[in-house]
Amino acid sequence: MPDGRSATGSSDSINRLRPRRSCLAVPGSNPRFLEKAQGLPADQVFLDLEDACAPLAKPEARHTIVKFLNEGDWTGKTRVVRVNDWTTEWTYRDVVTVVEGAGQNLDCIMLPKVQDAQQIVALDLLLTQIEKTMGFEVGKIGIEAQIENAKGLVNVDDIAAASPRVETIIFGPADFMASINMKSLVVGEQPPGYPADAYHYILMRILMAARTHNLQAIDGPYLQIRNQEGYREVAQRAAALGFDGKWVLHPDQVAAANEIFSPSQEDFDHAELILDAYEYYTSEAGGKKGSAMLGDEMIDEASRKMALVISGKGRAAGM
C-alpha cells in the first residue's frame, strides 16, 4: 500500500479500526451455534450474554463463552462478548468471568443500552483492574457501545469520548424503537404513517459522534431473517450514509453485509486512479501543472479525501 493511503492513520499500537462489515450475533448459551459461527465468513462475532441468553442460562453461558474463546478457531474475526447492561445485576460478573478467563483471546466487550459516559468509564475501570491483576496489556480490550434509548442518543457525543477503549457506536433499533414509543413492531422497517425515513436522524446522529471521535459506526439487527431483500435495503441505507457495518443474525445475511459494506470494484478502481493522479500532481514531475486531472475530472484535496475513504474500505476488504 503506498504511503499515506490510510484514511485514518492511527499511530496507536492498538488498532481500534478492526474489520466489522458483518457482525454476527451468537447466543453464548448455544454450543452448536458457537461451533458453527467459527466457519462463517463474518468480520466480527459477538458472543451474547444479553438478550439472546435467557436469565437462568447466563451463569453457565459465561463459562461456555470462555471455553469457546480459548479453544475455538476465530482466525480472521474480531472477537467480542456482549455483557448485560449496568442496570442489571449481571454486568460485573459477566465482565470478570469472561475477561479473567479469556481476556487474551478477546478483542472487545460490547456494552448494551449505554445511557451516559459514566457507564463507559465504569467498564473501562473494571477492565483496567482485571488487565492489571491478570498481567494483560492494559487498555488492549476495546469497548463497543450500543445506543438503544433516547438518553443514550442524547448523550452519544460524551459516550463516544468517554474512553480511548471505545471503538464503535452501534445502533440498537429494537430497544430504541421501544424506548421512544415508535409505532411499529417490525425492527428496522419504517413505521406505518410516517412519510419519510424515521431512522435518518438517529443514524446520522450516531455517525456524527462516531466520526468526530474516529470511531466506527455500526447498524444493528434486522429481525426478519428470511427476508433477504428487506435486509439488503436496510443495510444499504446505513452503508450509503457511511456506516461501517451491520449486525447479522443468520448465516444467510453474512455475504450481503460483506458486499454492501465494501466498495464496488468500479468505485475502488476509480478511487485508486484518483489517488495516483493526485500523487503525480504533488510530485516533483507533475507539480508544475495548475491542477490535477483524471481524464476530464478535476481532482482536488477534497476528492482525494473521498478517494482515501473508498480505497481504505476496499483495502480492508482485501481488494
Binding site for Mg ion (CB under 5 A): 148, 172, 175
Closer of 43 and 48 to ligand GLV (Cβ): 48
Residue 173 binds to ligand GLV (criterion: CB under 6 A): yes
Q: Which does 312 bind (CB under 5 to 8 A by kind): Mg ion, ligand GLV, none?
A: none
Residues 196-225 that bind ligand GLV (CB under 6 A): 220-221
Side-chain-side CA neighbours of residue 156 (13 Å): 28
Show the site string, 106-125: x = touches ligand GLV by CB under 6 A, - = not: ------x-------------
What's the CA gap between 118 and 128, in Å, rounded?
15
- Give the binding-site size for ligand GLV (rule: CB under 6 A): 9
Provide the greatest CA pair distance for the chain.
Answer: 71
Q: How far is the CB of 172 from ligand GLV (least distance, A)?
A: 3
Q: Which does 220 bind (CB under 5 to 8 A by kind): Mg ion, ligand GLV, none?
A: ligand GLV
Q: How far is the CB of 164 from ligand GLV (least distance, A)?
A: 24
Residue 27 binds to ligand GLV (criterion: CB under 6 A): no
Q: How far is the CB of 20 from ligand GLV (least distance, A)?
A: 15
Closer of 48 and 148 to Mg ion (Cβ): 148
Closer of 146 and 258 to ligand GLV (Cβ): 146
Q: Which does 173 bind (CB under 5 to 8 A by kind): Mg ion, ligand GLV, none?
A: ligand GLV
Q: Which does 152 bind (CB under 5 to 8 A by kind): Mg ion, ligand GLV, none?
A: none
